[in-house]
């Protein structure tokens, strides 16, 4: 087993444990924002897609890189925005004026 | 390693730390939003440093730059649009689509790298990279097609009933064998065999479809969580392929998160993950328990319910899947608001699988402006039912069925809300129809229970009007 594989595996296993520890403390109330927040975190694959675009030199490579970039970027941006939109609705006290119906597009504060 | 490489790697470490801190702050609604911002800051750092690294490295072509910029902007615009426009009731679909995008991107990262190496006679994939590529492509492909089917089912585009065909198990076995065969050939045979890679890619995509199609709409909370875990794993595998620590860490975190939620959801629905995935639906023993008592349900009118609610001192509202489907969260919040103004102690009992994804009901009620301290989890609210004058169940069935406490029921052992402990119970439901488990609900024939037959949205609106009339007169 190579040095790189060993260190990558160590990182992977320890991160799994950190993940289990941290996430088991999240209350059920926040499970939907948690999942959508986790969604934005896996959007970090954008980093991989960018590095792929940097090495691509032919049509196949460019096409694959383009789709990967678009997928990953939508994942990152959409994930964080929608998570924020959800979390800003969680309030301890109700607002004086009720928000408009759910048919309205969400407003970012 | 050059100084610049070191800086990039250190920045990735900072990003990973931001992800962990961000997830940690999700442990309370008061800090969660800050957590999300910290996580986003970490992500921005990772992306900016990657762009700087690509520029510094200098091997990227002009076309490569154009692809990088345009691809990212197109994706970002699509994501932004989706995130702004989505209705909260449709969150499960959006999360499914993001799962599909993440899984697809992870598979594509491995594919890009694979074709680059396969295109050069002088290059060869290491065994390590080959193993990671095989896993990444299979998991990513399954996630991509599976999540699209799941989103389709949730949106109603794909039949949300379990779609089964006779040889589905045989087909899945053949697909799995084929993928293992193709993977083994890539790992121990030819590391750069393009046909073998295409075979596992296609088999993965087909398997995603045949895996999710037979699963019923009510099992979607488990499926979304599982596909979320898959996406995380696929991203981590992509990290192994290109030896990138931040991908491995982020992927592992998401994998852990998805696994925990999958386990929680499966427990709350009293079904094993294996049972949901392998068995599909309808294979479980659905023998119904015949009620020992011959009691008929007692039907009540809106005015009676309104009277009871208005003069109660403690009311517990139990919103279920039916409320989410009817999008009646605003009506329920309006009723609670009205009662609270009369000095009634109102709280909400939220079962873990209420709604269409983990925690979905809480988001819907938060959107309807319900303060989160009123949203009580099952363990917290169950001891309070005995003190409640009235429990109002809206669109929930199996999760309030006392049969779960007996050993001879199909739902025995399933955690339920102890609604039958309340002094009086009103169940709002359209008909006496069965819940997902397909069995009679003993709560409905309980002498303490009144059945208020109405659609969740119009029924709650009627109640609000009735309470207002009562208060005015």
The residues in B 33-92 lying below 8 A from A, measured between CB atoms, are 33, 35-37, 39-40, 43, 46-47, 50-51, 53-54, 57, 59-61, 63-64, 67-68, 70-76, 78-80, 82-89, 91
Give the nearest partner residue to B63 out of A62, A88, A89, using CB atoms: A62
- The mean per-residue pLDDT over the stretch B211-238 comes to 90
Nearest CA in chain B to A100: B368
- Are A56 and B113 contacting, i.e. CB atoms less than 8 angstroms apart? no
Average pLDDT over residues A45-60: 92
Give the pLDDT band (50/70/90) at residue B229: very high
- In angstroms, the CA B272 to CA B93 distance is 23
Using alpha carbons only, give the angle A27, B81, B105 rounded to the nearest 5 degrees.
Answer: 75
What does pLDDT average to over chain B? Answer: 88
Using alpha carbons, select from B352, B364, B359 the residue that is nearest to residue B456. B364
Does A77 sit within 8 Å of B256, measured CB to CB?
Answer: no
Entry pTM:
0.88
Q: Determine whether the interchain pair A4/B235 forms a contact, defined as Cβ–Cβ distance below 8 Å.
A: no
Render B177-211 in DSSP notation, one character per residue. Answer: HHHHHHHHIIIII-TT-HHHHHHHHHHHHHHHHHH
* pLDDT given at position A107: 45
B105 touches chain A (CB under 8 A): yes
The length of chain A, given as a count of residues: 109
Indicate the DSSP class of residue B426: E
Element (H, E) at B338: helix B329-341
Backbone torsion region of residue A108, taken as left when φ is above 0, otherwise alpha when ψ lies between -120 and 50, otherwise beta: beta
Per the annotation, the verdict on B398 as an active-site residue is yes
| CB B384, CB B347: distance < 8 Å | yes
Tokens coding B470? 């009562």
Phi and psi at residue B468, to the nearest 5°: -60, -45
The CA distance from B403 to B289, in Å, is 9
Q: Does B470 score more than 70 pLDDT?
A: yes
Please give the pLDDT value at position A34. 95
The predicted structure's pLDDT at residue B215:
83
Q: Which residue of B has its CA nearest to A38?
A: B254
A95 and B369 within 8 Å at the Cβ level: the answer is yes
pLDDT higher than threshold 50 for residue A109: no
pLDDT range class, residue B152, cuts 50, 70, 90: very high
Give CA–CA dist B425/B413, Å, rounded. Answer: 23
Whether residue A54 has pLDDT greater than 50: yes
Confidence (pLDDT) at B8: 95
Q: Which two tokens stand for residue B116?
A: 């680059």
Average pLDDT over residues B334-354: 92
Helix (H, G, I), strand (E, B) or coil at B425: strand
Reply yes or no on whether the pLDDT at B93 is more than 60: yes
Residue A45, pLDDT > 70, answer yes
C-alpha–C-alpha distance, residues B123 and B146, integer Å: 34
What integer pLDDT is reported at residue A102 of this predicted model? Answer: 47
Q: For the residues B343-362, what does the mean pLDDT come to? A: 89
Instruction: Provide the pLDDT confidence category of residue B437 given band limits of 50, 70 and 90.
Output: low
Q: With 0-12 CB in 10 A as exposed, 13-18 as middle and 19+ as buried, what is B279? A: middle
Distance CA A4, CA A20 (A): 24
Residue, of B123 and A21, whose pLDDT is higher? A21
pLDDT digits (tens, 9 = 90+) for B111-134: 999 998 888 878 888 888 899 999
For residues B160 and B102, is the Cβ–Cβ distance under 8 A? Answer: no
Angle between helices B32-57 and A31-42 (to 10 degrees): 10
Asked whether the beta carbons of B125 and B240 are under 8 A apart, the reply is no
pLDDT in tens, B300-336: 988 999 999 999 999 999 998 888 888 899 999 999 9
pLDDT at A63 over 70: yes
Between B268 and B9, residue with greater pLDDT = B9
Chain B CB contacts of A70 under 8 Å are 71-72, 74-75, 78
Compute how many other C-beta atoms are within 10 angstroms of the C-beta atom of residue B63. Answer: 16
Please give the residue of chain A at the shortest CA–CA distance from B46.
Answer: A47
CA–chain centroid gap for B198, Å, is: 30
pLDDT, chain A, mean: 86
Percent of chain B exceeding pLDDT 90 equals 60
Comparing A73-87, B158-172, B297-311, B437-451, which segment has the lowest mean pLDDT? B158-172
Alpha-carbon gap: A16 to the closest alpha carbon of chain B (Å) = 5
Here the ipTM equals 0.87
User: In whole angstroms, how far apart are CA A103 and each of A83, A106, A107, B327, B456?
Assistant: 18, 9, 12, 11, 18
Distance from chain centroid for Cα A25: 19
Task: Scan for tokens 């002498």, then name that residue.
Answer: B447
Q: What is the mean pLDDT of residues B257-268?
A: 90
- Count other Cβ atoms within 10 Å, centred on residue B6: 10
In b/e form, how buried is each residue of A6-25, taking b as 16+ CB within 10 angstroms? eebeebbeebbebbbebbee
How far apart, in whole angstroms, are the C-alpha atoms of residue A19 and residue B151? 26
Distance of CA B316 to the CA centre of its chain: 26
Q: Do A48 and B247 touch (CB under 8 A)?
A: yes
Residues of chain B found within 8 Å of residue A41, distances taken between Cβ atoms? 19, 22-23, 39, 43, 250, 253-254
d(CA B284, CA B437): 10
Q: A26 at the B interface (CB within 8 A)? A: yes
Q: What CA–CA distance (Å, rounded) separates B100 from B103? A: 5
């Amino acid at each position: 087993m190579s040095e790189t594989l060993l260190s990558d595996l160590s990182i992977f296993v320890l991160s799994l444990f950190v993940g289990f520890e941290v996430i088991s403390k999240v209350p059920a109330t926040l499970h939907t924002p948690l999942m959508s927040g986790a969604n934005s975190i896996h959007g970090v694959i954008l980093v991989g897609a960018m590095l792929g675009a940097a090495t691509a030199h032919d049509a196949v490579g460019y096409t694959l890189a383009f789709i990967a970039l678009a997928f990953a970027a939508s994942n990152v941006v959409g994930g964080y925005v929608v998570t924020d939109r959800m979390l800003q609705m969680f309030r301890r006290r109700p607002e004086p004026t009720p928000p408009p119906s759910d048919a309205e597009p969400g407003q970012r504060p | 390693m050059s100084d610049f490489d070191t800086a990039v790697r250190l920045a990735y470490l900072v990003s990973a730390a931001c992800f962990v801190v961000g997830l940690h702050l999700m442990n309370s609604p008061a800090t969660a939003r800050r957590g999300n911002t910290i996580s986003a800051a970490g992500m921005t750092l990772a992306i900016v440093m990657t762009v700087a690294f690509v520029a510094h490295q200098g091997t990227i072509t002009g076309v490569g730059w154009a692809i990088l910029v345009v691809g990212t902007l197109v994706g970002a615009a699509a994501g932004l649009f989706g995130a702004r426009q989505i209705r909260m009731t449709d969150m499960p679909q959006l999360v499914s689509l993001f799962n599909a995008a993440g899984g697809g991107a992870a598979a594509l990262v491995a594919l890009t790298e694979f074709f680059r190496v396969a295109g050069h006679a002088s290059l060869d994939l290491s065994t390590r990279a080959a193993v990671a590529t095989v896993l990444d492509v299979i998991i990513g492909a399954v996630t991509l097609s599976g999540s699209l089917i799941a989103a389709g089912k949730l949106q109603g585009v794909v039949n949300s009933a379990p779609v089964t065909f006779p040889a589905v198990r045989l087909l899945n076995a053949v697909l799995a064998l084929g993928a293992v065969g193709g993977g083994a050939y890539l790992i121990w045979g030819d590391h750069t065999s393009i046909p073998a890679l295409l075979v596992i890619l296609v088999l993965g995509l087909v398997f995603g479809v045949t895996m999710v199609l037979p699963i019923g709409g009510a099992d979607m909370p488990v499926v979304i969580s599982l596909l979320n875990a898959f996406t995380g794993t696929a991203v981590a595998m992509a990290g192994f392929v290109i030896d990138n620590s931040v991908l491995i860490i982020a992927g592992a975190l998401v994998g852990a998160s998805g696994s925990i939620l999958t386990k929680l959801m499966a427990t709350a629905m009293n079904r094993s993950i294996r049972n949901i995935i392998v068995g599909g639906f309808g294979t479980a023993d659905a023998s119904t328990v015949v009620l020992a008592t011959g009691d008929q349900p007692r039907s009540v009118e809106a005015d009676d319910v309104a009277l009871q609610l208005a003069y109660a001192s403690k009311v517990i509202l139990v919103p279920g899947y039916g409320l989410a489907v009817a999008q009646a969260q605003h009506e329920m919040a309006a009723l609670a608001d009205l009662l609270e103004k009369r000095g009634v102690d109102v709280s909400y009992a939220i079962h873990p699988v209420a709604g269409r994804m983990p925690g979905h009901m809480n988001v819907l009620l938060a959107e309807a402006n319900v303060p989160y301290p009123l949203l009580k989890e099952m363990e917290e609210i169950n001891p309070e039912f005995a003190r409640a004058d009235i429990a109002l169940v809206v669109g929930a069935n199996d999760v309030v069925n006392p049969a779960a406490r007996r050993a001879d029921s199909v739902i025995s052992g399933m955690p339920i809300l102890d609604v039958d402990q309340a002094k009086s119970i009103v169940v709002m439901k359209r008909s006496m129809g069965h819940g997902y488990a397909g069995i009679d609900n003993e709560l409905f024939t309980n002498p303490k229970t009144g059945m208020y037959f109405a659609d969740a949205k119009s029924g709650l609106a009627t109640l609000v009007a009735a309470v207002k009339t009562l208060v005015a007169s």
